[in-house]
Amino acid sequence: MTIHWRELIKPDGRHLVLYARRPIPEDIEAPSPEPAPLHPNSHLRWHPLRGEWVSYATHRQNRTFLPPPEYNPLAPGSNPDHPTEVPAGDWDAAVFENLFPTLTSESHDPPPEIVETRPAKGACEVVVFTQDPKSSLGALPLAHLELLLEVWADRYRVLGARDEVQYVFPFENRGVEVGVTLSHPHGQIYAYPFVPPVPARELEMQGEHFRATGRGLLDETIAAELADGRRILYSGPHAVAWVPVFARYAYEVWVAPLRPQGSVADLTPVERGDFARALKTVLLQYDGLWGRPFPYILAFHQAPTDGWPHPEAHLHIEFYPPYRMKDRLKFLAGSEIGAGAFTADTLPEEKAAELRRVEVTLGSNDDGG
Amino acid sequence: MTIHWRELIKPDGRHLVLYARRPIPEDIEAPSPEPAPLHPNSHLRWHPLRGEWVSYATHRQNRTFLPPPEYNPLAPGSNPDHPTEVPAGDWDAAVFENLFPTLTSESHDPPPEIVETRPAKGACEVVVFTQDPKSSLGALPLAHLELLLEVWADRYRVLGARDEVQYVFPFENRGVEVGVTLSHPHGQIYAYPFVPPVPARELEMQGEHFRATGRGLLDETIAAELADGRRILYSGPHAVAWVPVFARYAYEVWVAPLRPQGSVADLTPVERGDFARALKTVLLQYDGLWGRPFPYILAFHQAPTDGWPHPEAHLHIEFYPPYRMKDRLKFLAGSEIGAGAFTADTLPEEKAAELRRVEVTLGSNDDGG
């Protein structure tokens, strides 16, 4: 598959990149709901007891843009009175800098404080998955999912190459249950100037195991899950999807390439094709389970871009769905948030069996292009 | 203050302890909504990538007890057709074992799995703060708060003395926003057979600092906050309450004794009295801010009971309120849950100023008894 892309600058200075499987028209222009640069500025403060950075982005309070209720800023723009974030024209996916970013390369002059402070350098990007506001990640054809994997790979390379960026984190928040108010299919990418706590902890455990055994920890976990078989949702020649034996959320699912590739940018074309099949299988099982859109947080965990080799890293997606049963949310409260200890009242084996009973039709990887 | 207590056994075998500032009648009997023992059994599975234990308590699904809608299981019992968890009679606070515990000393025979499993030993207790269903922690007189600090101290000693218990974690979930359906003022205590991830991380950072400098990390943090002053909510001779400079939640507040005492059981009477004043100040500021009950997660962090000395530990309460502004919840999503990186769009200094403007009347520590 050949991917075409075109980088444009919005009137307020932000970057927009369009991606497509066909050449992109040259006369396309980047719109913006904001006429002039906002010059966002954020800073980090060191939390000494947790040993982590916290971001403060106070410019996010100053949102003055009041669109009409039916306004969708992620729809291809057509109304000049209310410009959106993406242009009309022939493209499949779009990436642009968030208007109110938590992390931005512009950050400067952090205030002095009683703990160490730093400019909150980095990037916050929005990834528009499709022009169709009624679609969803799981409804997109396999070829479109492959294109999105190429988009995530491109952003990993481009953002990861910046000196200030140590970790590129694509994610999707889906559903009002996780706070999403915009239903147009989209994800986000945070490019952090540090390796954030959750992947840092996983890489620490993976690193210890790799140095002790010369083998990947996730690699061994996947081999054990495949041999067991009860929790496998998709098993292909190059990718696997499963409910982990140690799932913290009732419907937690992980997706990974079989070969311990460090990042989405390392996937070969056949691996990407099979990863797309694994991903679409999970998404269709989720939406098919209760016959309605299934909310979740989708998180990519991959190798840091901190300049060091990371042979211990193994690309994977972790899905955290907020429901523990139909119409019953799992609230994260005292034990989970205050102590960090998760408690489940269902078994991963049972939840995997539920998802496995959902019949899915993937189509072909050559469809839709 | 003299505390009286009486330990009773419920018909289903669970323990109930009543606490009071007056002698407790001898003829009091422990009720239960359940006539016979439920024999809960839970297990732990090792999450190798996060390096933490996850609990699976499937018996929690088997809740068959269907009370009438107005039924309050934490109210002193009077209707024999629907027995509650606590008896009528003269007592100030009650502690009993959760009917559907995640952790219990009864746990046995964990299923073999592809990761290490263990019985989920430990305890889950409910702490009824008062007999009055319409009261709240902050509305209780200072003397009653002191009694509750003695209750938490007693549970720390009793539960912490068990071989299997490595960490005693009292907490309160308050408000429907954090998933609470029972409005009767109450908290919970989890006694874990491991040091859970959040305090483990804090103790790791505190331990590094203590070994390097011989001083407590929280101790130094408090000294810097007091010298700065902008974020202090209460400053007494023995206790302090403040919005930390590195707050992750908009209205996050910490409460601690000035002297680095390891646990609530180490507080001296004057420290306990001042800690109660600091705690009540925060609770009244919270409820006064918008003139309505303010939801939060309240988490006690203290020294593990794992048999090792913990000179690095420093008792403190961390409050995590879910609101970032009036009527606007902070959703924990991709960055916070998937990467562990918190982002705030307000400054701790501003939020502290808001809370400081709320006028509170504490009363005297000798009141109410």
DSSP B166-212: -EEEEEEEESGGGT----SSEEEEEEESS--HHHHHHHHHHHHHHHH
Q: Which domains does chain A have, with CATH numbers?
A: 4-194 (3.30.428.10), 198-356 (3.30.428.10)
| pLDDT tens string A74-105 | 999 877 888 999 999 999 999 999 999 999 99
Nearest chain B CA: its distance from A153 CA (Å): 18
Does the pLDDT at position B110 exceed 50?
Answer: yes
Nearest to B345 among A57, A329, A339 (CB): A57
Q: What would the two tokens of residue B276 be?
A: 């109660």
pLDDT of residue A61: 58
Q: What does the alpha-carbon distance between residue A342 and residue B197 come to, in Å, rounded to a whole number?
A: 10
| Single-letter amino acid code for the residue at A360 | V
pLDDT bin (cut points 50, 70, 90) of residue A58 is confident
pLDDT of residue B65: 57
Residue of chain A minimizing CA distance to B124: A335
Greatest Cα-to-Cα distance within chain A, rounded to the nearest angstrom: 62
Residue of chain B minimizing CA distance to A218: B49
pLDDT bin (cut points 50, 70, 90) of residue B181 is confident
Q: What does the alpha-carbon distance between residue B137 and residue B144 come to, in Å, rounded to a whole number?
A: 9
Residue with the bigger pLDDT between A2 and A319: it is A319
Please give the mean pLDDT across all residues of chain A.
95
Q: What is the DSSP letter of B337?
A: I
Counting Cβ atoms within 10 Å, is residue A259 exposed (0-12), middle (13-18) or buried (19+)?
Answer: middle
Nearest chain A CA: its distance from B114 CA (Å): 6
pLDDT of residue B63: 58
Residue among B328, B362, B361 at smallest CA distance from B345: B328
| pLDDT tens string B57-76 | 987 655 555 677 788 999 99
pLDDT bin (cut points 50, 70, 90) of residue B366 is confident
For chain B, the straight-line distance linking the first and the last C-alpha, in angstroms and rounded, comes to: 9
CB contact under 8 A, A245 and B338: no
CB contact under 8 A, A54 and B343: yes
Q: Which residue's structure tokens are 């439920």?
A: B38
Q: What would the two tokens of residue A235 be?
A: 């098993």
- Cβ contacts of A18 within 8 Å, gap of 6 or more: A5, A6, A8, A24, A28, A86, A87, A89, A91, A93, A94
Residue among A303, A66, A67, A132 at smallest CA distance from A203: A303
Mark residue A368 as left, alpha or beta (left: phi above 0; alpha: psi -120 to 50; beta: remaining): left
Residue among A360, A230, A338 at smallest CA distance from A283: A360
Of the CA atoms within 13 Å of residue A144, those in its CB half-sphere come to 21
Does the pLDDT at position A291 exceed 90?
Answer: yes
| pLDDT tens string B72-88 | 999 998 778 889 999 99
CB contact under 8 A, B114 and A169: no
pLDDT of residue A65: 57
Does the pLDDT at position A231 exceed 70?
Answer: yes
Residue among A93, A100, A94 at smallest CA distance from A34: A100
Does the pLDDT at position A66 exceed 70?
Answer: no
pLDDT of residue A59: 74
| pLDDT tens string A133-175 | 999 999 999 999 999 999 999 999 999 999 999 999 999 999 9
**Chain B partners within 8 Å of A45 (Cβ):** 245-246
How far out from the chain centre does Cα B132 lie?
A: 19
- Rounded to an integer, the average pLDDT of B176-196 is 95
Q: What does the alpha-carbon distance between residue B236 and residue B274 come to, in Å, rounded to a whole number?
A: 7
pLDDT of residue A228: 98
From chain B residues 27-86, the ones with a CB under 8 A of any chain A CB are: 45-58, 60-61
| pLDDT tens string A100-124 | 999 999 999 999 999 999 999 999 9
Nearest to A331 among B178, B331, B345 (CB): B178
Counting Cβ atoms within 10 Å, is residue B99 exposed (0-12), middle (13-18) or buried (19+)?
Answer: buried
Helices (H), B49-175: 142-160
| pLDDT tens string B231-245 | 999 999 999 999 999
Residue among A31, A24, A16, A211 at smallest CA distance from A97: A16
Residue among B211, B170, B188 at smallest CA distance from B316: B170
Q: What does the alpha-carbon distance between residue B148 and residue B92 come to, in Å, rounded to a whole number?
A: 9
Residue length of chain A: 369
CB contact under 8 A, B344 and A54: yes
Q: What does the alpha-carbon distance between residue B89 and residue A98 come to, in Å, rounded to a whole number?
A: 60
| Single-letter amino acid code for the residue at A272 | R
Does the pLDDT at position A69 exceed 90?
Answer: no
pLDDT of residue A171: 98
pLDDT bin (cut points 50, 70, 90) of residue A369 is very low
Residue with the bigger pLDDT between A301 and A331: it is A301
| Catalytic residue flag (residue A186) | yes
Greatest Cα-to-Cα distance within chain B, rounded to the nearest angstrom: 62
A333 vs B: CB within 8 A: yes
How far out from the chain centre does Cα B330 lie?
A: 21
Residue among A83, A176, A52, A73 at smallest CA distance from A128: A73
Please give the mean pLDDT across all residues of chain B.
95
Residue of chain A minimizing CA distance to B194: A341
Strand partners, B190: B124, B169
pLDDT bin (cut points 50, 70, 90) of residue B219 is very high
CA distances from B211 to A298, B207, B223 (A): 39, 6, 19
Does the pLDDT at position A1 exceed 90?
Answer: no
Q: What would the two tokens of residue A7 be?
A: 């980088």
**Chain B partners within 8 Å of A345 (Cβ):** 56-58, 60-61
Does the pLDDT at position A368 exceed 60?
Answer: no
Strand partners, B282: none
B176 vs A: CB within 8 A: no
pLDDT of residue B64: 54
pLDDT of residue A367: 58
**Chain B partners within 8 Å of A53 (Cβ):** 341
Nearest to A205 among B49, B200, B299 (CB): B49
pLDDT above 90 covers what percent of chain A?
A: 88
Nearest to A338 among B171, B200, B225 (CB): B171
| pLDDT tens string A249-281 | 999 999 999 999 999 999 999 999 999 999 999
Residue among A35, A28, A34 at smallest CA distance from A8: A28
pTM score, two decimals? 0.96
A104 vs B: CB within 8 A: no
CA distances from B347 to B234, B337, B351 (A): 19, 21, 7
pLDDT bin (cut points 50, 70, 90) of residue B311 is very high
- Rounded to an integer, the average pLDDT of B262-283 is 98
